[in-house]
Structures are given as structure tokens and as C-alpha cells.
Amino acid sequence: MILGNAEVRTIGVIGSGVMGSGIAQVAAQSGYAVRLFDVDETLLEKAVGSIAGFLRRAAEKGKLTPEAAENALTRITTTLSLGECEPCDLVIEAAPESIGIKESLFRELSSIVRSDAILATNTSTLGVTQIAAAATYPERVVGMHFFNPAPLMKLVEVIAGADTSDEVIGTVIETARHMGKNPVRAKDTPGFIVNRVARPFYLEALRLLQDGIASPETIDLLVRKGGGFRMGPFELMDLIGIDVNYAASRSVYEQYFQEPRFRPSILQQRMVDSRHLGRKSGRGWYRYDEET
């Protein structure tokens, strides 16, 4: 099999949540061998179940052959041991949006993978340069920011840290293209492009709700019917994960030195406290009881 990029054959994916499972699926469907790591065995099993379901439905709809679906699934190996990422040419980290977690993962991964392997972060808002500083070879660290759902969304933001080499950027762009994505270069600033543009979309909707002006249903309906958006802000927060969206809001706010227009909402905090996290927990701004 000829792959688009001769250097990248095995891809490690760290974190098997909403994004990690989607990225693992895209990579496997594109012909890469995938090592999918998580700290939680139940979530690894859930990820494989959801990837298998997605591939089966795609095969039923004729979007890929049953053999291609089966082959993609067999390319994914799950593991609870980070050390199993040792043969990976590229590792894409999709762990929670916490600088502490990401720094410690990049420190540990540096001692596991070859010195010429690439370490990419799927962070939505955190500094690639800061994450890279925890790695042994910051020139091999890059931002590779997929969008949700990763198997369907075409955009990938590619972000160079202060020391990232041009060669690494080139390989990541080529790999993203081989996955059928449209890579776009973005600067290493909080939220990059999309997550900065998107902040007021969520936060102003939350202010409307908090001020008692309109319900989530009304706001979503108006944004869809009046604005032509595919999903309203509350539907999108439920898809993303309210905890993940809140972490992104906090991160952008803090990194812009508490710029008032980026101030997170107490409503997000309450939803996270109550563990109503959206689709992944069966309940968020809406209920998804039948899907869980």
C-alpha cells in the first residue's frame, strides 16, 4: 500500500474521547496503523464501539465497502500503556484541555518515541509553544487541530510553535491531506482562528439565556433558521461537550489577560458541576436519553 507520506505509517492517538476516537477512525480509514491510548479502559471500549458503529453505518449507506470498514477497524490497536506508542511516527494528543495534563504527556512521550517522531496536540486553545517546551525536542512538536466530528469535518488547523521545524509542518500538512482534510496554517495565539471566532457565538447565547431573554430552543432555532447555521450554539455545545467548551472558554479568557468579552458564563460552570455535559453524558442543554 502506498501512503501519501512515506515517513508516517503508524499514528498514536492519546485520549479516546470525542476527538481521539474520531481522529483514530480517520487515520485508520486513511491506511495508517493506529495505537489508541487512554487512561480509562471503559472509555477505550466505548471508543472502539462507536468507531465500529460509525464504520458499519457508513458501509450500510454505501460510503465505503464492508471490507474497507473491517480493514479500518483492524488497523486500530487500543492500549492503556503509553509505552506502546514507541513505534509511532506521529502521535496526536487529544487528552483533556489542561496544560498540566498536556505538559506531562509531552514530557513522558519524549522519552518513549524516536527522536525523529512528531508530537502533535489537538488542543483547541492552549499554546503550542508552551506544550512544546515540556518536550525534549520542541522542534518536533506541532498543533494539529481537528474539528468535531473529526471523521466528517474537513478543516485541520496546523500551528507551529516558536521552535517547530518547517519539515515537521510540511509532514503534518501532507498527512492531513492524505486523511482527506484541508489543512490551514494558524498562528500560535489563544484559540487560534476558529476557537477565537467561535467564543462570542457561545458566550453571547449564554448571556441571552442568563438574562432571561430566550430559551436554548429558541436561540438555536433562530440561529439555524435565521442565520443559516447548521446547528445553534446550545446544540453545538452539547455536541462538543459542555466541559470541553467551558475549558476552552476559560483558557481563552485567561490567556487574553481576562479580556471581558471572553468572560466565561456561570451557566456553563453549573452544567459542568452537575455533570450534564451534553451528548456524551446523555444530557446537556437537551436530553439524549435514547441515544445512551
Ligand X SMILES: NC(=O)c1ccc[n+]([C@@H]2O[C@H](COP(=O)([O-])OP(=O)(O)OC[C@H]3O[C@@H](n4cnc5c(N)ncnc54)[C@H](O)[C@@H]3O)[C@@H](O)[C@H]2O)c1
**Least distance CB 8 / ligand X (angstroms):** 20
**Least distance CB 148 / ligand X (angstroms):** 3
* Cα 182 from Cα 115, distance rounded (Å): 28
Q: Does the annotation count 182 as an active-site position?
A: no
Q: List residues binding ligand X (CB under 6 A).
A: 14-20, 38-40, 43, 94-97, 101, 105, 122-124, 146-148, 240-241, 244, 248
**Least distance CB 121 / ligand X (angstroms):** 7
For residue 88, what is its C-alpha cell? 509511532
- Catalytic member of 21, 30, 122, 195: 195
Q: Does the annotation count 84 as an active-site position?
A: no
* Cα 285 from Cα 216, distance rounded (Å): 7
- Catalytic member of 122, 157, 235, 276: 157
* Cα 50 from Cα 26, distance rounded (Å): 13
Which residues have CB under 8 Å from 166's CB, separation 6+?
A: none
Q: Closer to ligand X at the Cβ: 3 or 155?
A: 155
The closest of 134, 129, 186, 123 to 161, measured between CA atoms, is 129
- Catalytic member of 30, 122, 124, 249: 124
What is the distance, to the nearest Å, from the Cα of residue 263 to the centroid of all Cα atoms in its chain? 23
Q: Closer to ligand X at the Cβ: 43 or 59?
A: 43
- Catalytic member of 21, 93, 145, 265: 145
Q: Closer to ligand X at the Cβ: 41 or 60?
A: 41
Cα 159 to Cα 136, 168, 186, 198, 216, distances in angstroms:
18, 11, 5, 18, 33
Q: Which residue is nearest to ligand X (CB)?
A: 17
**Least distance CB 146 / ligand X (angstroms):** 6
Q: Does the annotation count 157 as an active-site position?
A: yes
Q: Does the annotation count 276 as an active-site position?
A: no
Q: Closer to ligand X at the Cβ: 49 or 66?
A: 49
φ, ψ of residue 120 to 5 degrees: the values are: -115, 145
Q: Closer to ligand X at the Cβ: 24 or 117?
A: 24
Contact of 117 with 141, CB cutoff 8 Å: no
Check whether the bond before 149 is cis (ω within 30° of 0). yes
**Least distance CB 62 / ligand X (angstroms):** 28
Residues forming the active site: 124, 145, 157, 195
